[in-house]
Protein backbone atom coordinates (compact mmCIF):
# COMPACT_ATOMS: atom_id res chain seq x y z
CA UNK A 1 0.00 0.00 0.00
CA UNK A 2 1.44 3.36 -0.96
CA UNK A 3 0.22 6.91 -0.64
CA UNK A 4 1.57 8.53 -3.81
CA UNK A 5 0.79 12.04 -2.60
CA UNK A 6 3.05 11.93 0.45
CA UNK A 7 5.64 9.30 -0.52
CA UNK A 8 4.70 7.19 2.49
CA UNK A 9 4.48 3.43 2.20
CA UNK A 10 3.01 1.06 4.74
CA UNK A 11 5.44 -1.74 5.58
CA UNK A 12 5.70 -4.67 7.96
CA UNK A 13 4.15 -4.16 11.43
CA UNK A 14 1.90 -1.40 10.04
CA UNK A 15 4.73 1.13 10.09
CA UNK A 16 5.09 3.89 7.54
CA UNK A 17 8.34 4.70 5.78
CA UNK A 18 9.29 7.55 3.49
CA UNK A 19 9.91 6.37 -0.07
CA UNK A 20 11.31 8.19 -3.06
CA UNK A 21 12.32 7.34 -6.61
CA UNK A 22 16.01 8.16 -7.08
CA UNK A 23 18.02 8.33 -10.28
CA UNK A 24 21.66 7.25 -10.46
CA UNK A 25 24.36 6.69 -13.03
CA UNK A 26 26.67 3.76 -12.36
CA UNK A 27 30.32 4.82 -12.26
CA UNK A 28 32.11 1.66 -11.14
CA UNK A 29 31.12 -1.99 -10.79
CA UNK A 30 32.41 -4.07 -7.89
CA UNK A 31 31.86 -7.73 -6.98
CA UNK A 32 28.58 -7.38 -5.02
CA UNK A 33 27.67 -3.75 -5.59
CA UNK A 34 28.35 -0.75 -7.75
CA UNK A 35 29.15 2.89 -7.09
CA UNK A 36 26.80 5.44 -8.64
CA UNK A 37 26.38 9.20 -8.71
CA UNK A 38 22.93 10.68 -8.16
CA UNK A 39 20.89 12.87 -10.47
CA UNK A 40 19.05 15.55 -8.50
CA UNK A 41 16.67 18.32 -9.55
CA UNK A 42 16.86 20.09 -6.17
CA UNK A 43 13.11 20.79 -6.27
CA UNK A 44 13.50 22.01 -9.88
CA UNK A 45 15.96 24.69 -8.72
CA UNK A 46 19.06 23.10 -10.28
CA UNK A 47 22.24 24.50 -8.75
CA UNK A 48 20.46 27.67 -7.60
CA UNK A 49 19.28 25.83 -4.50
CA UNK A 50 20.95 27.18 -1.38
CA UNK A 51 23.98 25.14 -0.30
CA UNK A 52 24.56 23.44 -3.67
CA UNK A 53 28.10 23.76 -5.08
CA UNK A 54 27.64 24.29 -8.84
CA UNK A 55 31.21 23.22 -9.75
CA UNK A 56 30.44 19.69 -8.49
CA UNK A 57 27.56 19.28 -10.95
CA UNK A 58 26.80 18.88 -14.63
CA UNK A 59 23.49 19.13 -16.45
CA UNK A 60 21.96 15.74 -17.27
CA UNK A 61 19.63 15.89 -20.24
CA UNK A 62 17.82 13.45 -22.49
CA UNK A 63 19.64 12.77 -25.76
CA UNK A 64 17.88 14.63 -28.57
CA UNK A 65 16.88 17.56 -26.37
CA UNK A 66 18.86 20.67 -25.46
CA UNK A 67 20.53 21.10 -22.05
CA UNK A 68 19.00 24.00 -20.16
CA UNK A 69 19.84 26.16 -17.19
CA UNK A 70 17.05 27.02 -14.78
CA UNK A 71 16.07 30.63 -14.17
CA UNK A 72 18.88 32.44 -12.35
CA UNK A 73 21.38 29.58 -12.71
CA UNK A 74 24.92 30.51 -13.73
CA UNK A 75 26.57 28.45 -16.49
CA UNK A 76 28.19 25.31 -15.08
CA UNK A 77 31.91 24.58 -15.42
CA UNK A 78 31.30 20.93 -16.30
CA UNK A 79 29.85 20.16 -19.74
CA UNK A 80 26.32 18.78 -19.98
CA UNK A 81 26.03 14.99 -20.19
CA UNK A 82 23.37 13.44 -22.48
CA UNK A 83 21.48 10.35 -21.38
CA UNK A 84 20.07 8.05 -24.07
CA UNK A 85 16.71 7.20 -22.55
CA UNK A 86 15.24 3.69 -22.78
CA UNK A 87 12.09 3.29 -24.90
CA UNK A 88 8.87 4.33 -23.14
CA UNK A 89 10.79 6.28 -20.49
CA UNK A 90 9.94 9.85 -19.58
CA UNK A 91 12.66 12.37 -20.52
CA UNK A 92 14.71 13.99 -17.78
CA UNK A 93 13.36 17.29 -16.50
CA UNK A 94 15.45 20.38 -17.42
CA UNK A 95 16.62 20.88 -13.80
CA UNK A 96 18.34 17.45 -13.66
CA UNK A 97 21.91 17.76 -12.35
CA UNK A 98 24.53 15.04 -11.90
CA UNK A 99 26.19 15.43 -8.50
CA UNK A 100 29.73 14.10 -8.99
CA UNK A 101 31.05 14.85 -5.50
CA UNK A 102 29.16 12.00 -3.87
CA UNK A 103 28.95 8.38 -4.85
CA UNK A 104 26.58 5.83 -3.43
CA UNK A 105 27.22 2.13 -3.06
CA UNK A 106 24.22 0.23 -4.41
CA UNK A 107 23.98 -3.48 -3.72
CA UNK A 108 22.96 -5.69 -6.62
CA UNK A 109 19.97 -7.04 -4.65
CA UNK A 110 18.26 -3.62 -4.71
CA UNK A 111 15.36 -3.31 -7.14
CA UNK A 112 16.19 -0.97 -10.00
CA UNK A 113 14.71 0.10 -13.30
CA UNK A 114 16.90 1.09 -16.19
CA UNK A 115 16.18 4.56 -17.55
CA UNK A 116 18.96 4.63 -20.13
CA UNK A 117 22.71 5.17 -20.41
CA UNK A 118 25.29 7.90 -20.88
CA UNK A 119 25.83 8.54 -24.59
CA UNK A 120 29.05 6.68 -25.54
CA UNK A 121 30.68 9.84 -26.97
CA UNK A 122 30.37 11.49 -23.54
CA UNK A 123 31.43 8.55 -21.38
CA UNK A 124 35.10 9.66 -21.12
CA UNK A 125 33.95 13.14 -20.03
CA UNK A 126 31.49 11.68 -17.51
CA UNK A 127 34.10 9.35 -15.98
CA UNK A 128 36.69 12.15 -15.99
CA UNK A 129 34.36 14.36 -13.95
CA UNK A 130 33.77 11.51 -11.51
CA UNK A 131 37.52 11.02 -11.15
CA UNK A 132 38.04 14.77 -10.62
CA UNK A 133 35.69 14.77 -7.65
CA UNK A 134 37.33 11.78 -5.95
CA UNK A 135 40.50 12.45 -4.00
CA UNK A 136 42.29 9.39 -5.33
CA UNK A 137 42.24 10.73 -8.87
CA UNK A 138 45.54 11.50 -10.58
CA UNK A 139 43.92 12.58 -13.83
CA UNK A 140 44.70 16.05 -15.14
CA UNK A 141 41.46 18.10 -15.06
CA UNK A 142 42.21 19.37 -18.60
CA UNK A 143 41.44 15.88 -19.96
CA UNK A 144 37.71 16.40 -19.44
CA UNK A 145 37.47 19.81 -21.10
CA UNK A 146 35.40 19.74 -24.29
* Residue of 116, 110, 90, 95 whose CA lies nearest to 39: 95
Question: Rounded to two decimals, what is the model's pTM?
Answer: 0.82
Q: Residue ranges of the domains in the chain?
A: 22-144
pLDDT tens string for the chain (146 positions)? 444 456 788 888 989 888 777 899 999 999 999 999 999 999 999 999 999 999 999 999 999 999 999 999 999 999 999 999 999 999 999 999 999 998 899 999 988 889 999 999 999 999 999 988 876 544 455 534 43
The Cα–Cα gap between 133 and 45 comes to: 22
Residues whose CB is less than 8 angstroms from the CB of residue 115 and which lie 6 or more positions away in sequence, other chains included: 23, 83, 85, 86, 89
Distances (CA, A) of 63 to 3, 25, 103: 32, 15, 23
Amino acid sequence: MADYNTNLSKVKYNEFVHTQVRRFIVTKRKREFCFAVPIFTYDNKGTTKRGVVPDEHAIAYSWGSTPQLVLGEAPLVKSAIPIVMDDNTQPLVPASRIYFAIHHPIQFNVKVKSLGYVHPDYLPTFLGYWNQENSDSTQDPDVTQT
